[in-house]
Amino acid sequence: MTLNLCTNASHAMGDRPGVLEVALESVRLEQALTTTDGILPQGAYQLLRVRDTGRGIEEGLLRKIFLPFFTTKDVGEGTGLGLSIVHGIVLDMGGGIQVASVVGEGTTFSVYFPVQAPEASEPAQAPGPLVKGTGRILVVDDEEAIGSMLQEVLAHLGYEALALTSPQEALERLRRDPRAFDLVLTDKTMPQLTGLELAAELARLRPDLPVILMTGISTAEEEAAAREAGVALLMQKPIGIPALAQALEQTFRGAGEKRGVS
């Protein structure tokens, strides 16, 4: 996680001379603290600060930086998933993040980790933990970097995951062993086969295999086409890690109910 923050800071500074500071200290919040996702209750925390003297982040972009696939880097320089992974890990631990940035001067990420669980009367104020699960998930995305990062996110959520860039290869793997995976998470727009075409093929091969389709645009026509192709769930990008975790849990639960498994 710290590596992701430092890598992001390094990219922000580029080739220019700059300073990257990493500090960890014990702090005690005497009053509730507002973070990017809610409010942290008072109590003891470990505070990780990562500060850079890079180009900074415009105020209008600050609310978007933790969304998966969002990036201000040039094409090929980043996936837009590094900060979303940090965000998911921190939320999972019951912590919070503050971001302070000045364009042209730099950015500071302040990450708070609770030293102990909040008292029984306080959990509603703190961000809830991520929903985790188990199962084997096949990720299909023609962009290798995105597939790899999704694989890392899924591993953090407790799943076994394999990422492939070729939908045709994914289909061939499942033809050889239809029970190799418990769920398929696929992008919609890909060469060889689109996500919808892949889902339709998988529905014929194994009707009980749930498929989640990720798409940049969701219309009524697309939703109808997804249902016809056998897609269990259509998710519109950008997808937050908590939303993805919840979607996986619900999809697995729904698949289990269809099979009569409680």
pLDDT in tens, 204-230: 999 999 999 988 766 778 888 888 999
User: Which regions of the chain are under pLDDT 50?
Assistant: 72-80, 118, 120-126, 261-262
In one-letter notation, the amino acid at residue 193 is: L
- What pLDDT, on the 0 to 100 scale, is given for residue 71? 54
Under a CB-based contact definition with an 8 Å cutoff, are residues 69 and 81 in contact? yes
In one-letter notation, the amino acid at residue 14 is: G
- What pLDDT, on the 0 to 100 scale, is given for residue 85? 77
For residue 153, the Cα-to-chain-centroid distance in whole angstroms is: 6
Q: Token pair for residue 238? A: 């950008």
Structural domains in the chain, CATH included, are 2-125 (3.30.565.10), 136-258 (3.40.50.2300)
- What pLDDT, on the 0 to 100 scale, is given for residue 68? 62
- What pLDDT, on the 0 to 100 scale, is given for residue 135? 96
Under a CB-based contact definition with an 8 Å cutoff, are residues 22 and 49 in contact? yes
Helix pair angle (82-92, 2-13), 10° resolution: 150
Q: Report the C-alpha gap between 8 and 70 in whole angstroms.
A: 13
- Taking the model in full, what pTM does it have? 0.57
- What pLDDT, on the 0 to 100 scale, is given for residue 190? 92
Q: What are the beta bridge partners of residue 211? A: 184
Q: Token pair for residue 164? A: 């492939």
